[in-house]
Every structure is written in C-alpha cells, then in structure tokens.
Amino acid sequence: MDLRIDEPAGLARWLPLGLAVLAAALLGLGLIFWIAANWDTLGRFGRFAVLQGAIVAMGAGALLRPAWRAPLALLVLLATGALFAYFGQTYQTGADPWQLFALWAALTLPLALALRSELLWTPWVLVAFVGIALWIHAHAGHRWRVEPDDLAVHFAGWAAAGALVLAMSSFARRFTGAGAWALRCAVTLAVIVITSTALAALFSMPIAAHFAAGLLVLALLASAFVPRAGFDVFALSAVALGLNTLVVAGLARLLFEGARGDPIGRLFLLGALAAGLLAGTVSGVLKLARSYSSEGGAA
C-alpha cells in the first residue's frame, strides 16, 4: 500500500518566504527587547542611534538584496514604530497616541507602495486601523462611548475604515499590489470597528442612531463583495457575520425589552430566527462562490 503524501501545492514557494518573515518579526522584537534590556547603558543618544541605524541598514538591505526585500521591509516597518514609540516616551510632546500611529502609517506608506506585497500591506493595515480606533477614542472625549453627539466622529472613522478596505480591494490592486490577506485583514478590522459601535448603540437608552447607521454601512460593504469583479468569500462572510450579529442582537432587544412572563418561548424563537438567518447567509455565500467558480471553469 502506497502511503506517500504529496507535497502541498505552493509549499516550496511559501515556506521559505514565511520563515523569512517570521525571522524578520522575531528580529524586530529582539531589537526592541535588546534596547529595553540595555536601557541605562545606551543612554538617550544610543537608543536613537540604534533604532535609526536599524532603519537605515534594513532599508539599504531591502534595496540591494531583492531576495530579502520583503522581510527586511517588515523590519523597517517594525523599527519605525519602535522609533516613534521611543520618541513619544522620551520627549512627552503631548501628542495623542493616534497621531503617532498616523505618522507611522504615513511614513511607511511609500515603502508599502514600492514593495507591492501583502506581506507588508497586512501589518500596515493593522497599524492604520489602530490609528483610526485611537482617533475615534480621542475625538469622543477620550472615552469608548456611543452618544448622539459622537455620530459624526464615528461616521468619519467608518469612512476612513471603508477607504482602507477600498485601497486593499481588487479594484485598487493594480496601484497598490496588495493581496487577498491584506484585504481580508482590512475587512475584518472594519467589521469589528463598525459592529462593536453599533452594538453599543443598540443597548443604549434610547437606541442611538449608530445602530441603524452600522446596519446600513455593513449592507453597503457587503454589496461591494457580491459582484464577480470584487467577490471574496472571506470578506463577504466577515461582513455577513457582522450583519447577522447586529440583526440577532436587535431581535433580542425587540423580544425581551419590557416583556413579561416565561422567557423560554422567546429564547426558542430567537434561536430559531438566528439559526435560519445564519443558514440563509451561508447558503447565499456558497451559492455565489459555486456560481463564480463554475463560470471561471467554463471560461
């Protein structure tokens, strides 16, 4: 009996690259930990010199060695963040944390555009979304709150999140070079930002306008991934999960708010509605995926 197992497709390509990226991430963290361990020995000038020297050296290496370009560029991204973190800690400029993340994302954007790889776009998207979340927090009174007066702030944050999703999508791929994982990371973080705000609005007294706005924004986002040109099964599923969560939570408040008597029947009804909604969503996403797959095979 032949027990041989074939090598997974693409392993020869992705395994060395994945190991290189893992090594770059560990080296970046090692640099930060080494500076922390030698904090008193290095002094202020020494710490800045090490961080800036690492950025220049890794950047030059990425320019001169194409085979090492992706992991070295990732090291540049990490070292840049460490430099801004140390700058903010040393000089106490009074700047909000979101400004440091925004500057970090802005200064490393040309590097991501030049590299045109999702290996750099994916962590860059994470940095940008942290900046967006901190911006919302700062302009909402430095509190994670959902109040009617903050609707414009949340709308602006959601618009920035949507712009990042569009920048990572297939429509802009010819300009950015971003891949599927950068898009999926952006969509996942956008869904988290929008859904968490809408859920907080739902359980406010009374229900804040953010809940209806969140439903509308997620519905528009889902419609962008339905056509064949922009279809991505992960992205559409993530947005659909956010929509399902909001709808089920809204039904729960509708069924239980001010209700009297035995809640078992209402719980059973809510469970049946949630299961039916989830089943219908999964069926729709799979039907689209199979339809586009069969059309691609026929072509």
Q: What is the DSSP string of 49-88?
A: HHHHHHHHHHHHHHHH-GGGHHHHHHHHHHHHHHHHHHHH
Whole-number Cα distances in Å, 8 to 5, 13, 18, 135, 178: 9, 11, 15, 43, 24
- What is the tens place of the pLDDT at every residue in 208-236? 888 999 999 999 999 999 988 888 899 99
For residue 112, is pLDDT > 60? yes
Q: Which residue has the tokens 């439903």?
A: 215
Phi-psi bin for 254: left (phi > 0), alpha (psi -120 to 50), beta?
A: alpha
For residue 15, is pLDDT > 80? no
For residue 261, is pLDDT > 80? no
Question: Which backbone phi and psi does 8 adopt, to 5 degrees?
Answer: -60, 145
Question: Which backbone phi and psi does 100 adopt, to 5 degrees?
Answer: -65, -40
Mean pLDDT: which of 34-43, 81-90, 161-170 is highest?
161-170
For residue 137, is pLDDT > 50? yes
Residues 55, 60, 63, 67, CA torsion sign: negative
Residue 272 confidence class, pLDDT cut points 50, 70, 90: very high
- What is the tens place of the pLDDT at every residue in 165-213? 999 988 888 888 888 889 999 999 999 999 999 998 888 877 788 899 9
Residue 7 has what DSSP assignment? P
For residue 299, is pLDDT > 50? no
Alpha carbon 60 to chain centroid, angstroms: 29
For residue 80, is pLDDT > 50? yes
Q: Which residue has the tokens 């429509």?
A: 171
Alpha carbon 213 to chain centroid, angstroms: 20
For residue 277, is pLDDT > 70? yes
Mean pLDDT of the chain: 84
Q: Are 86 and 110 in contact (CB under 8 A)?
A: no
The first and second tokens of residue 93, run together, are 């400029």
Question: Which backbone phi and psi does 81 adopt, to 5 degrees?
Answer: -65, -40
Q: What is the pTM of this model?
A: 0.85
- How many residues are listed for the chain in this entry? 299
Residue 239: the pLDDT is: 95
